[in-house]
């Protein structure tokens, strides 16, 4: 019972550009904020243009040039963060990349990040995607930029070699020494990467975690082979602009070939931002610390891996609901789990998370078997389960009937129809014959038992024969929202459920969603509760990333 499609930080599945896309897609590299300044970089992935541009034969070269000439020069980008909205006109380069540097009144970010909703008008289409805006801690007093060696960023296996590098491991005390206030300063890792490279933030962040480097933000600077210095200069100038007036910035250069160019960057740029200190590692950085001082620094200031303060002890399995409507948006198969957007944000921060995918319309028993089989393949230890909508019924069936009670330590459900939803009865009564969606799906071989399994009568029977299991902690959240914030496809359903069952989220009522220990109410409609954020109200400001991050912290506090 969910519609799929957010991708956040920049959260696009691996190998996105190698897949066959049907319509243009928005992708964000990273979004950084400091003070009142916001820097967003991304690209429009247009499969139609790429297919033409990719043709390399001489006789067809004029088509390539024509395609480049016809692509739009500028687009309008609207970014909405916590009720604040800013518009900017951004220029597309020859690779359809863009960046926006604007000022906006940003809301307080207690954990150093915010969710941004972005909308772009491109060739008559409206493209939407969310991203995570990262900011230094509120009490930070300085920032450090670290330019990573090209050997570790310009090759496909670079992050692996970085994680095994002795020289990179020796840099840990140097990083700690150069940072002025320990783990509370802003830290930015700059990585020059080739255009269209497969190296991403998550791979580099994992390598940094392995080395024990302090947690920081990875800024990827795509460049052609002969324009590395140009890309670096532009990226560093943007970072100086971002921090100017808020934090002073030091630079640690780990790439020897750029030492001469780096030395000339100390002066202020056009915005008046300066570099306080420039250190070229391998030349003067090793003189900063003697062996004894390095040992004392490592002892007195132990470096923690790049992970959140509260991380569950056990892996977390995210279970999606019914109707994986990613196909309606021509999304990739990897996105059919609506929680996929969390992967790129959580894994670099030390969370062990899994995203199994089950039949979008199958019955509870069928989906539960698929869920169990995938979990068994993914991990052999105890787990936590977080489930949205019908995924909660799948998880309960799996725990009670499929021998998983010994493996699951906790189940947290969000807007799960534990007592069914009257919408299914109403739909089957009024629309099964008039709009034969289910009949059509059945005719082409789809299992559509999931609809019937969500009827109130079916759920009463399900609850009677599916008791809670000892040793498993059951938690739940419900959803309630006013009709003014319900997205259009759910509005009629909201009115119907309000009459039949009371407060609801447009799909499931509060009364039906309560199970086990009730932890709270989500004030967002059913579609907006998941981090994919497809088909949501245009002015919906609910932050699902913050919500699920809070659930994970709560599990950690409870010892799971």
Pairing type for strands 517-522 and 74-81 reads: unpaired
442/105 Cα distance (integer angstroms): 51
276 membership: H or E segment, kind and range: strand 275-280
The residues spanned by each domain of the chain are 16-134, 142-300, 316-557
**How many Å separate Cα 552 from the centre of its chain?**
15
**Residue 391 confidence (pLDDT):** 93
Least confident of 190-199, 293-302, 364-373, 531-540: 293-302
Mean pLDDT of 237-252: 88
More confident residue, 482 or 24: 482
The stretch 486-501 carries a mean pLDDT of 91
CA atoms within 13 A on the CB side of 364: 29
pTM value > 0.85: no
In three-state form (DSSP H/G/I as H, E/B as E, the rest C), the secondary structure along 87-126 is EEEEECCCCCEEEEEEECCCCCCCCCEEEEEEEEEECCEE
83: tokens are 């009720």
List the single range of 85-94, 285-294, 330-339, 537-546 with lowest mean pLDDT: 285-294
Q: What is the mean pLDDT of residues 539-550?
A: 85
Architecture of the structural domain at 316-557: 3-Layer(aba) Sandwich (3.40)
The predicted-structure confidence for 40-76, as pLDDT tens digits, reads as follows: 998 888 776 654 444 444 445 444 444 444 455 888 8
Q: Tell me the mean pLDDT in the region 292-310.
A: 38
> Does an H or E element contain 249, and which?
strand 248-253
More confident: 285 or 407: 407
- Quote the CA–CA distance of 555 and 169 in Å, as a whole number: 33
pLDDT at 327: 39
Of 2.60.40.10, 3.90.550.10, 3.60.20.10, 3.30.390.30, the CATH number of 16-134 is 2.60.40.10
Q: How confident is the model at residue 560 (pLDDT cuts 50, 70, 90)?
A: very high
User: In this structure, are strands 186-194 and 142-147 parallel, antiparallel, or unpaired?
Assistant: parallel
Grade residue 463 by pLDDT with cuts at 50, 70 and 90. Answer: very high
Average pLDDT over residues 161-186: 68
Distances (CA, A) of 11 to 15, 100, 191, 351: 12, 19, 18, 16
Q: Is residue 306 predicted with pLDDT exceeding 50? A: no
Say yes or no to pLDDT of 22 above 70: no
Contact 113, 156 (CB under 8 A): no
Average pLDDT over residues 74-93: 87
Q: With a cut of 70, say whether residue 385 has pLDDT above it.
A: yes
Distance CA 226, CA 56 (A): 21
Please give the residue that has the higher pLDDT: either 524 or 438: 524
Long-range contacts of 153-157 (CB under 8 A, 24+ apart): 153/191, 153/192, 153/193, 153/199, 153/204, 154/192, 154/193, 154/194, 154/197, 155/199, 156/197, 156/198, 156/199
pLDDT (tens digit per residue) in 467-479: 999 999 999 999 9
**pLDDT bucket at 433, cuts 50 / 70 / 90:** low
- In this predicted structure, which of 281-290, 363-372, 400-409, 433-442 has the lowest mean pLDDT? 281-290
Range of lowest pLDDT (304-313, 456-465, 500-509):
304-313
Provide the pairing of β-strand 248-253 with 142-147.
parallel
Q: Name the token pair of 272.
A: 């008046």
CA 444/CA 462 separation, integer angstroms:
28
Q: Kindly report which listed range (161-165, 298-302, 443-447) carries the lowest average pLDDT score.
A: 298-302
User: What distance in Å separates the CA atoms of residue 173 and residue 167, rounded to the nearest whole number?
Assistant: 12
Q: Between the CA atoms of 230, 236, 238 and 240, what dihedral angle is there, to the nearest 10 degrees?
A: -150
> In 3D, which of 487, 299, 241, 333 has the Cα closest to residue 14?
333
Instruction: Kindly report, residue by residue over 522-537, the tens digit of the pLDDT.
Output: 999 998 898 876 667 7
Specify the pLDDT at position 386: 97
Q: What percent of the chain has pLDDT above 90?
A: 28
The pLDDT mean for the chain works out to 77
Reported as a pLDDT band with limits 50, 70 and 90, residue 293 is very low
535 backbone φψ class: left, alpha, beta (φ>0; ψ -120 to 50): left
pLDDT, average across residues 360-380: 91
**Distance of alpha carbon 448 from alpha carbon 470, whole angstroms:** 32
Q: Is 123 exposed, middle or buried (0-12, 13-18, 19+ CB in 10 A)?
A: middle
pLDDT attached to residue 161: 77
């Amino acid at each position: 019972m969910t519609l799929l499609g957010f991708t956040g930080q920049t959260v696009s599945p691996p190998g996105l550009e190698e897949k066959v896309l049907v319509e243009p897609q928005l992708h964000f590299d990273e979004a950084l904020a400091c003070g009142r300044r916001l820097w967003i970089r991304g690209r429009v992935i247009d499969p139609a243009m790429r297919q033409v541009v990719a043709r390399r034969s001489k006789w067809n070269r004029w088509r390539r040039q024509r395609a480049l000439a016809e692509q739009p020069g500028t687009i309008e980008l609207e970014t909405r963060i916590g009720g604040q909205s800013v518009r900017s006109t951004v220029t597309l380069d020859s690779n359809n990349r863009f960046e926006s540097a604007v000022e906006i009144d940003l809301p307080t970010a207690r954990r150093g990040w915010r969710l941004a909703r972005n909308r772009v008008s491109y060739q008559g289409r409206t493209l939407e995607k969310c991203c995570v805006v990262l900011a230094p801690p509120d009490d930070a007093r300085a920032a450090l930029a670290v330019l990573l060696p090209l050997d570790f960023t310009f090759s496909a296996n670079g992050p692996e070699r970085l994680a095994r590098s002795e020289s990179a491991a020796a840099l840990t005390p140097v990083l700690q020494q150069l940072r002025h206030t320990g783990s509370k300063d802003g830290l930015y890792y700059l990585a020059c990467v080739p255009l269209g490279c497969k190296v991403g933030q998550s791979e580099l962040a994992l390598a940094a975690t392995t080395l024990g480097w302090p947690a920081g933000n990875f800024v990827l600077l795509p460049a052609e082979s002969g324009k590395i210095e140009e890309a670096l200069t532009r990226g560093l100038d943007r970072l100086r602009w971002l921090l100017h007036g808020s934090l002073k910035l030091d630079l640690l250069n780990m790439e020897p070939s750029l030492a001469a160019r780096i030395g000339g960057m100390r002066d202020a740029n056009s915005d008046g931002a300066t570099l306080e200190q420039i250190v070229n590692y391998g030349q003067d950085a090793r003189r900063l610390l003697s062996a004894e001082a390095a040992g004392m620094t490592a002892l007195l200031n132990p470096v923690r891996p790049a992970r959140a303060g509260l991380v569950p002890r056990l892996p977390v399995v995210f279970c999606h609901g019914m109707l994986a409507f990613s196909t309606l948006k021509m999304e990739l198969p990897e996105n059919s789990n609506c929680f996929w957007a969390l992967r790129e944000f959580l894994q670099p921060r030390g969370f062990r998370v899994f995203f199994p995918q089950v039949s979008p319309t199958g019955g509870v028993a069928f989906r539960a078997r698929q869920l169990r089989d995938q979990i068994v393949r993914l991990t052999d230890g105890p787990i936590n389960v977080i489930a949205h909508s019908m995924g909660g019924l799948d998880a309960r069936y799996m725990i009670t009937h499929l021998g998983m009670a010994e493996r699951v330590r906790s189940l947290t459900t969000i807007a799960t129809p534990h007592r069914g939803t009257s919408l299914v009865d109403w739909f089957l009564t009024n629309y099964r014959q008039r709009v034969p969606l289910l009949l059509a799906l059945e005719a082409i071989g789809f299992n559509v038992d999931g609809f019937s399994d969500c009827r109130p009568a079916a759920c009463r029977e399900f609850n009677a024969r599916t008791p809670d299991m000892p040793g498993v902690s059951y938690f739940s959240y419900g959803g309630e929202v006013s009709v003014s914030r319900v997205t259009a496809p759910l509005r009629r359903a909201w009115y119907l459920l309000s009459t039949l069952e009371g407060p609801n989220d447009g799909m499931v009522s509060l009364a039906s969603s309560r199970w086990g220990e009730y932890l709270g109410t989500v004030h967002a409609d059913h579609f907006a509760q998941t981090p994919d954020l497809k088909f949501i109200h245009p002015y919906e400001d609910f932050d699902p990333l913050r919500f699920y991050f809070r659930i994970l912290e709560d599990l950690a506090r409870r010892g799971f």
